[in-house]
Structure 1
Amino acid sequence: MPKPIFISFEGPEGAGKTSVLEALISELKTKLGDNLVTTREPGGNPISEVIRSILQPEEDNGMDKRTEALLYTAARRQHLVENIKPALDQNKIVISDRYVDSSLAYQGGGRGLGIDNIWEINQFAIDGLLPDMTIYLDVPVEIGLARVNENRQGKIDRLDKESISFHQKVRETYLKLQSEFSDRIKIVDATQPLNKVIDDTRILINQILEDKS
């Protein structure tokens, strides 16, 4: 019987997560069929998608940073109970575009709320469920934001428009998490050509699939 596997993808703005995921999910669906479940945060179900629309407007909506952290956590809880956990209970492979590390990086680091504080409120939401592997695509802030401005016109939201300092804190927090939890969080150099980033990511996914088979 296949074993459940939970993989999350993380990265700062402009790291190329969408492009890498699109390429590899197409391959994996051919290989795994209905055994593969793909989803995203915030989102994945009606309640979480409504929260997403509140959290990710194009312009600043004056949201308090603690409110923001709590809304991301609420969306994550609904995502977990409605999407992730049922799929894992059916021994499926779940790939999520973002999970708890995003809150640690963006709200804990970027917003300055503290990693420990954000971890504590998210523990209530995720009840100890962490990915088997988190793939972190890393790119320097200047390169990432230049990619956003060049490639995502019309889709730029309020997080994309935050200060350089905010984005630097986000990346620093991701790197700190990767250093502390290197057994779970695997880093891929996203400054490489896209095909190389996809190849490196494919190797990591195949590794966890083989290890869990």
Structure 2
Amino acid sequence: MKHADDGLLRTEPRLVTLEGGEGAGKTTVLEALRDALRAQGHEVVCTREPGGTPLAERIRDLLLDPEHEPPTAEAELLLMFASRAQHVRETVLPALRRGAWVLSDRFTDSSYAYQGGGRGLDEGLIAELERRVVGFRPGLTLLLDLAVSEGRARAHGRNGDADRIERERDGFFERARAVFLARAAAEPGRFRVLDAAQPAATVAAEAVALLRAWQASQ
């Protein structure tokens, strides 16, 4: 998978994103990365998508509340990028400009996986929105890879009230997982794939080691 617009997107080295399917353990890893960076004396901003600002969180509610009218695939994608536009301008870029590290639970790769792979929307449309709305990619993306069946069992165990996307069928998540893995294979300089089936403490320790290696390479 070659991204034709790679040359048009700059890299933000202090933006670290966590990607993966439902129940992969992103929250635990994010907390471990936050603690490691703070121990080094860095300011750390922890955020998420969709969300990350008051307005973006309201859009998140529209997107994920199963009681709302289900959006079309195109409406879902555009709402995701509306939330992302606010998140990037109001949270991510200000933090990066003042020298902070930003840890985000999901970023644009999730749109490729969920709206592209899961919904079947054209990757070219997503790439154009990424270029125009975001304009950059993370320096490091940690993909927590986990079998769909295991991830869904974990997610159900921690939260009985699944949101609208969590209620999708297995095939949706299998397609999303395939896109995540394809993107990781296409961008080995940015992605690191972790086996999220391991114990949470092991995954978190591996993630911290990968972050430190990334720091040392800069």
Specify if TM > 0.5.
yes
Residue 168, structure 1, aligned to residue 174, structure 2: yes
For 2:41 and 2:79, locate their aligned partners in 1 and report how far apart those are by CA, in whole Å.
Answer: 33
Q: Structure 2 stretches of 5 or more lacking a match?
A: 1-11
| Kept in 1: contact 2:22–2:152 (CA 8 A) | yes
* Cα deviations by residue, 1:73-129 (Å, 9 ceiling, x for unpaired): 1111111111111111112211111110010000011000022221222211112x1
Task: Rate the CA distance shift 1:98–1:68 in 2: closer, same or farther, 3 A.
Answer: same
Residue in 2 that maps onto 1:109: 117
Residue in 1 that maps onto 2:4: none
- Note the C-alpha offset of 1:59: 4.5
Residue in 2 that maps onto 1:73: 81
1:1-150 to structure 2, matched below 5 A, reads 5-33=14-42, 35-59=43-67, 61-127=69-135, 129-150=136-157
| Kept in 2: contact 1:41–1:96 (CA 8 A) | yes
| Kept in 1: contact 2:140–2:191 (CA 8 A) | yes
Residue in 2 that maps onto 1:193: 199
Paired-residue identity, %: 38
For 1:4 and 1:90, locate their aligned partners in 2 and report how far apart those are by CA, in whole Å.
Answer: 13
- How many residue pairs get aligned? The number is 207
* Cα deviations by residue, 1:37-90 (Å, 9 ceiling, x for unpaired): 111111111211111111111446321110000010111111111111111111
For 1:22 and 1:130, locate their aligned partners in 2 and report how far apart those are by CA, in whole Å.
Answer: 21
Q: Which amino acid aligns with 1:207?
A: A
| Kept in 1: contact 2:32–2:208 (CA 8 A) | no
Residue in 1 that maps onto 2:211: 205
Q: Out of 72-81 and 59-68, give the one that drifted further.
A: 59-68
TM-score by length of 1: 0.91
For 1:13 and 1:194, locate their aligned partners in 2 and report how far apart those are by CA, in whole Å.
Answer: 14
For 1:119 and 1:61, locate their aligned partners in 2 and report how far apart those are by CA, in whole Å.
Answer: 27
Task: Rate the CA distance shift 1:4–1:184 in 2: closer, same or farther, 3 A.
Answer: closer
For 1:23 and 1:130, locate their aligned partners in 2 and report how far apart those are by CA, in whole Å.
Answer: 22
For 1:195 and 1:183, locate their aligned partners in 2 and report how far apart those are by CA, in whole Å.
Answer: 25
SS at match of 2:137: coil
Task: Rate the CA distance shift 1:171–1:184 in 2: closer, same or farther, 3 A.
Answer: same
RMSD: 1.6
- Note the C-alpha offset of 1:133: 0.6
For 1:60 and 1:145, locate their aligned partners in 2 and report how far apart those are by CA, in whole Å.
Answer: 23
Q: Which amino acid aligns with 2:104?
A: S
Q: Which amino acid aligns with 2:150?
A: I
For 2:53 and 2:143, locate their aligned partners in 1 and report how far apart those are by CA, in whole Å.
Answer: 24
| Kept in 1: contact 2:14–2:96 (CA 8 A) | yes
Q: Structure 1 stretches of 5 or more lacking a match?
A: none
Q: Out of 113-122 and 143-152, give the one that drifted further.
A: 113-122
